[in-house]
């Protein structure tokens, strides 16, 4: 998400930075481009106008235009306004109340409420050690209740037994008493998708809210939502007083402007981002970091956090210890690194966090740096014998042919991999030398091996 | 569900839906043009209004520029503006109004529904099945979404409603294998149509897009001309990302047409105007509700006029 917007804004700002002096007309021209970039990113028109006005007021002041680096100043103003628009700092993910904490999920059809309910349950169970009950009030979409029941099983949450034909309000009563009697910490109520203009169903959701008295009302919205985000946010906020927003499918290539619109209209924070279809794909939302990502400044903090969460610590320590004691880098180590990267969301997942990557995305695509390449390289290494992996010198012409055949690749690809391996090995050696002379060692020990550079030269 | 009768034009219902959302739009235009010269400020406002309907900044700018030609500086009335804009949008959409033609020489005629998650593929498939079953066709459904929990169960319910057999495989199994077996099965049964549902996939997920290409490949092992219609389901609520969706799905599986869903909401789906112009793809049907007969052919005149709030 946001990559397209990042690329566009990056281009505008690059031109701005190149100029020594800026006139009001320069700023106005740049902001017109920003306006179109935001609109193409589906930020709602009133929000865009408001944003541009604020930036313009601040940017055309004497102090900015007369400063030594006016371009940089303007970018900083845009960044600060974006952070403000996105909601400043991270907010608490869970209200503190007497159990059970009740969370009500609302939104349009197909926005991802049921999947998000399952993801939230998993997160609360695993990260906060809570006991979670899932209950579906969706009596309209065929098999919606079954879907939530299956997800509950997958993530180890409790599930309210389905009674066919029972009405939402009666299901709530049952869910509340079950949550209390069975000692659940959190009760997540999934609801049917509804259109903001469907009066009958909007009254129903108001009644559901009155009956359930939820502590948190999460509006679930698709990152692909267009200008209608404003109407949706307004309608739901008016009827059920939304307390937070979940933006789903942020792993798509939608520019996600709806996030900005909904946040602005409701005044409530974006709390979670839904990433992918697996139950683990839910991230807390960090407004300041995202603003950096939108402006192409990267989000290295989140990347390191992701690394910490997903990297196998034992393996990482083993590897670090091995290098510190002067061990050689083998193909097995390289395989380990590839797997770490895959676990962290693949190359494309990681790239999104890095500064400036949006601008070179096209080149990367042309250079074929993609997930397929990692998978093929993995297959090549897996087609080698253990002896070969430990001592690649063994691999000569005949063996290369066998490996290529075994992995469904070409000999040229095997050669490429071996060359890449040699580069990495040489680099590791250099690092080990530096470590001995004392300059680099402490850093190397701390870096997770999946993050070591060099694996993706051509 | 009960008050919906055949006599209620679905366009009336669509217009009710649209009018709720376009009332702001048309009010704006009314205020704008009742007693006014068509100057730059007026055109800017008009452009904003179109942008708010999801037409996108580029399409909106183009429409307004075309509109301003010959009219700039003249006195214009409210109805003239609305009529003219509706007319322009209708013209843009006219080439897109081509319903799906079922080639009866294909036994079965294979329809593949593709799209991002939550666009409304399964619901649309259920409605299509009912429509053809009503015409006395023998329809087989294939529950190709083997990924999402309970997607198969959801399609089964639609199958029951439409009275069509549903060909399924266990959750997590290979969608291409299921499609292959479903086609074999439908052929053996002498079915007229096979409708294949697929799992929702974001267009930038290469692996999932490859899977779609594979489904198509294996179908062609049985019938080299299958699938006979690959339809991309688009959510009207979505914004400009629809461009990226059309582009990516076209590259992967040669999309033959679009279905726009959730047009009964407050979203206007204005992005189709730009899509129609750029890709010349037919809009074979639109979804206007959750009941089984809420799938209708696309009428550009009615759509454009409903969008602009022009009667008739």
- Note the pLDDT of residue A303: 59
Answer yes or no: is pLDDT of B41 > 50: yes
CATH superfamily of B10-96: SRP54, nucleotide-binding domain (1.20.120.140)
Of the candidates A205, A215, A272, A281, which has an alpha carbon nearest to the alpha carbon of residue A245?
A: A272
Q: Are residues A175 and A195 in the same domain?
A: yes
- Note the pLDDT of residue A444: 43
| B134/A436: higher pLDDT | B134
Q: Are residues A169 and A317 in the same domain?
A: no
Q: Are residues A280 and A232 in the same domain?
A: yes
Beta carbons of B149 and A142 less than 8 Å apart? no
Please tell me the distance from the alpha carbon of residue B185 to that of residue B176, in angstroms, as a whole number. Answer: 14
Q: Which residues contact A165 (CB under 8 A, 6 or more apart)?
A: A139
- Note the pLDDT of residue A302: 60
Please give the full DSSP string across A340-390, using - where no structure is assigned.
Answer: HHHHTTHHHHHHTTSTTHHHHHHHHHHTT-SHHHHHHHHHHHHTS-HHHHH
pLDDT confidence bin for A456, thresholds 50/70/90: very low
How many residues would you count in chain A?
A: 458
What does the block give as tokens for A382? 């897996």
pLDDT confidence bin for B23, thresholds 50/70/90: low
B-facing residues of A in 99-158 (CB < 8 A) are: 108-112, 115, 140-144, 146-147, 149-151, 154
CATH of the domain at A367: 1.10.260.30
Q: Is residue A147 part of a domain?
A: yes
Query: Span B113-124, mean pLDDT?
Result: 94
CATH of the domain at A136: 3.40.50.300
Query: Span A73-88, mean pLDDT?
Result: 78
Of the candidates A7, A2, A5, A1, which has an alpha carbon nearest to the alpha carbon of residue A363?
A: A7
Query: Span A253-282, mean pLDDT?
Result: 88
Kindly list the residues from chain B whose CB atom is less than 8 angstroms away from the CB atom of residue A109. 118, 120, 262, 290
B298 class by beta-carbon count within 10 Å (0-12 exposed, 13-18 middle, 19+ buried)? buried
| A116/B206: higher pLDDT | A116
- Note the pLDDT of residue B204: 87
- Note the pLDDT of residue B73: 76
Beta carbons of A228 and B51 less than 8 Å apart? no
pLDDT tens string A384-414? 998 898 888 888 889 999 999 999 889 998 9
Kindly list the residues from chain A whose CB atom is less than 8 angstroms away from the CB atom of residue B241. 42, 224, 252-255
Residue A242 sits in which domain range?
Answer: 101-296
In this complex, the residue of A141, A149, A226 whose CB is nearest that of residue B54 is A226
Q: How far is CA A330 from CA A263, A341, B81, in A?
A: 49, 17, 72
**ipTM metric:** 0.81
- B174-B132-B134 Cα angle (round to 5): 130
Q: Are residues A204 and A344 in the same domain?
A: no
Answer yes or no: is pLDDT of B2 > 50: no
Strand partners, B141: B166, B195
Q: Is residue A341 part of a domain?
A: yes
- Note the pLDDT of residue A192: 96
* CA-based nearest distance B105→chain A, Å: 34
Q: Do the beta carbons of residue B159 and residue B173 sit within 8 Å?
A: no
Give the single-character DSSP code of A162.
P
Residue finishing a domain among A58, A86, A114:
A86
In this complex, the residue of B48, B119, B153 whose CB is nearest that of residue A146 is B153
B62: contact with A, CB 8 A cutoff: no
Q: If you average pLDDT over every residue of chain A, what do you get?
A: 81
CATH of the domain at A45: 1.20.120.140
Beta carbons of A42 and B240 less than 8 Å apart? yes
| B82/A213: higher pLDDT | A213
Q: Do the beta carbons of residue A186 and residue A100 sit within 8 Å?
A: yes
Q: Are residues A112 and A53 in the same domain?
A: no
- Note the pLDDT of residue B25: 57
Please tell me the distance from the alpha carbon of residue A419 to that of residue A417, in angstroms, as a whole number. Answer: 5
Q: Is residue A91 part of a domain?
A: no
Give the single-character DSSP code of A91.
P
pLDDT tens string A202-228? 999 999 999 999 999 999 999 999 999
Q: Are residues A206 and A233 in the same domain?
A: yes
Across A85-99, A162-176, B283-297, least confident range:
A85-99
Q: Are residues A176 and A323 in the same domain?
A: no
Domain spans of chain B, in order of start: 10-96, 109-261
Across A165-174, A369-378, A434-443, B267-276, least confident range:
A434-443
Q: Are residues A307 and A288 in the same domain?
A: no
B223 class by beta-carbon count within 10 Å (0-12 exposed, 13-18 middle, 19+ buried)? middle
Q: Are residues A144 and A209 in the same domain?
A: yes
Please tell me the distance from the alpha carbon of residue A410 to that of residue A407, in angstroms, as a whole number. Answer: 9
Q: Are residues A307 and A292 in the same domain?
A: no
What is the tally of structural domains in chain A? 3
Across A333-342, A385-394, B111-120, least confident range:
A333-342
Q: Are residues A322 and A395 in the same domain?
A: yes
Torsion of CA A9, A12, A17, A22, to 10 degrees: -120
What does the block give as tokens for A233? 């946010």
In this complex, the residue of B53, B202, B204 whose CB is nearest that of residue A227 is B53
Above pLDDT 90, what percent of chain A? Answer: 38
Fold classification of B109-261 (topology level): Rossmann fold (3.40.50)
- Specify the 3-state DSSP secondary structure of A220: strand
| A73/A242: higher pLDDT | A242
Above pLDDT 70, what percent of chain A? Answer: 76
Give the single-character DSSP code of B263.
T
Answer yes or no: is pLDDT of B21 > 60: no
Test the A interface: residue of B118, B168, B243, B245 with most A CBs within 10 Å: B118
Q: Is residue A457 part of a domain?
A: no
Q: Are residues A25 and A140 in the same domain?
A: no
- Note the pLDDT of residue A206: 96
Query: Span A150-164, mean pLDDT?
Result: 95
Of the candidates B187, B193, B230, B188, which has an alpha carbon nearest to the alpha carbon of residue B104?
A: B193
Q: Is residue A458 part of a domain?
A: no
Across A144-148, A375-379, B27-31, B79-83, least confident range:
B27-31
Please tell me the distance from the alpha carbon of residue A412 to that of residue A419, in angstroms, as a whole number. Answer: 10
- Note the pLDDT of residue A448: 44
pLDDT confidence bin for A377, thresholds 50/70/90: confident
Query: Span A4-29, mean pLDDT?
Result: 75
Q: How far is CA A251 from CA B178, B239, B247, in A?
A: 27, 16, 17
Answer yes or no: is pLDDT of A321 > 80: no
pLDDT confidence bin for A310, thresholds 50/70/90: low
Buried b (16+ CB within 10 A) or exposed e, B26-45: bebbeebbeeeebeeebbee
Q: Is residue A15 part of a domain?
A: yes
Please tell me the distance from the alpha carbon of residue A245 to that of residue B47, in angstroms, as a whole number. Answer: 30
Query: Span B154-168, mean pLDDT?
Result: 93
């Amino acid at each position: 998400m946001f990559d397209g917007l990042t690329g566009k804004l990056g281009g505008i700002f690059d031109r701005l930075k190149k100029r020594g002096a800026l006139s009001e007309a320069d700023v106005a021209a740049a902001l017109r481009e920003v306006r179109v970039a935001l609109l193409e990113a589906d930020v709602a028109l009133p929000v865009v106008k408001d944003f541009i006005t604020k930036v313009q007021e601040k940017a055309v002041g004497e102090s900015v235009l007369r400063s030594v680096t006016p371009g940089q100043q303007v970018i900083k103003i845009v960044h600060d306004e974006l952070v403000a628009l996105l909601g400043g700092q991270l907010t608490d993910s869970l209200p503190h109340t007497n159990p059970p904490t009740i969370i009500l999920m609302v939104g349009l059809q197909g926005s991802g409420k049921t999947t998000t309910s399952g993801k939230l349950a998993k997160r609360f169970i695993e990260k906060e050690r809570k006991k979670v009950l899932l209950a579906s009030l969706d009596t309209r979409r065929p098999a919606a209740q079954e879907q939530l029941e299956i997800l509950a099983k997958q993530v180890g949450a409790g599930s309210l037994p389905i009674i066919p034909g029972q009405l939402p309000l009666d299901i709530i009563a049952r869910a509340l008493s079950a949550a209390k009697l069975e000692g659940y910490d959190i009760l997540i109520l999934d609801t049917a998708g509804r259109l903001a203009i469907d009066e009958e169903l909007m009254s129903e959701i108001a009644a559901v809210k009155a009956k359930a008295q939820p502590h948190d009302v999460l509006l679930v919205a698709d990152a692909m939502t267009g200008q209608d985000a404003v109407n949706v946010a307004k309608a739901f906020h008016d009827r059920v007083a939304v307390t937070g927003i979940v933006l789903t499918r942020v792993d798509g290539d939608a520019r996600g402007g709806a996030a900005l619109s909904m946040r602005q209209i409701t005044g409530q924070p974006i709390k979670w981002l839904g990433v992918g279809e697996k139950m683990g794909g839910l991230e807390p939302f960090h407004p300041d970091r995202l603003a950096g990502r939108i402006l192409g400044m990267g989000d290295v903090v989140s990347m390191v956090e992701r690394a910490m969460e997903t990297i196998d610590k034992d393996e990482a320590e083993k590897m670090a210890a091995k290098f510190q004691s002067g061990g050689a880098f083998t193909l097995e180590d390289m395989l380990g690194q590839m797997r770490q990267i895959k676990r962290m969301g693949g190359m494309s997942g990681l790239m999104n966090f890095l500064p400036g990557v949006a601008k070179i995305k096209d080149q990367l695509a042309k250079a074929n740096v993609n997930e397929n390449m990692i998978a093929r390289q993995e297959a090549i290494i897996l087609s080698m014998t253990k002896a070969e992996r430990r001592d690649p010198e063994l691999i000569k012409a005949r063996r290369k042919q066998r490996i290529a055949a075994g992995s469904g690749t070409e000999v040229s690809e095997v050669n490429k991999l071996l060359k890449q391996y040699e580069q990495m090995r040489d680099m590791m050696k250099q690092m080990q030398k530096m470590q001995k002379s004392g300059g680099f060692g402490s850093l190397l020990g701390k870096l997770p091996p999946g993050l070591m550079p060099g694996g993706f030269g051509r | 569900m009960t008050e919906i009768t055949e006599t209620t034009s679905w366009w009336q219902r669509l217009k009710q839906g649209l009018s709720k959302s376009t009332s702001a739009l048309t009010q704006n235009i009314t205020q704008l043009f009742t007693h006014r010269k068509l100057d730059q400020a007026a055109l800017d406002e008009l452009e904003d209004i179109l942008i708010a309907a999801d037409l996108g900044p580029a399409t909106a700018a183009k429409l307004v520029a075309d509109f301003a030609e010959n009219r700039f500086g003249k006195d214009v009335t409210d109805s003239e503006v609305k009529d003219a804009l509706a007319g322009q949008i209708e013209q843009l959409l006219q080439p897109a109004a081509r319903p799906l033609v079922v080639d009866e020489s294909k036994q079965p005629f294979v329809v593949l529904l593709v799209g991002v998650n939550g666009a409304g593929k399964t619901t649309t498939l259920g409605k299509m099945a009912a429509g053809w079953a009503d015409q006395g066709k023998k329809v087989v459904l294939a529950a190709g979404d083997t990924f999402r929990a309970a997607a198969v169960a959801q399609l089964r319910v639609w199958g029951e409603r439409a009275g069509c057999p549903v060909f399924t495989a266990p959750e997590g199994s290979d969608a291409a294998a299921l499609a292959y077996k479903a086609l074999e099965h439908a052929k053996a049964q002498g079915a007229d149509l096979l409708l294949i549902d697929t799992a929702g996939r974001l267009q930038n997920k290469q692996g999932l897009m490859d899977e779609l290409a594979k489904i198509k490949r294996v179908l062609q092992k049985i019938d080299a001309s299958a699938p006979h219609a690959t339809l991309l389901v688009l959510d009207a609520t979505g914004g400009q990302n629809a461009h990226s969706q059309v582009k990516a799905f076209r590259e992967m599986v040669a999309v033959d047409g679009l279905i726009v869903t959730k047009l009964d909401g407050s979203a206007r789906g204005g992005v189709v105007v730009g899509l129609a112009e750029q890709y010349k793809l037919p809009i074979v049907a639109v979804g206007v509700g959750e009941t089984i007969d809420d799938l209708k052919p696309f009428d550009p005149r009615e759509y454009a006029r409903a969008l602009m709030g022009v009667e008739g």
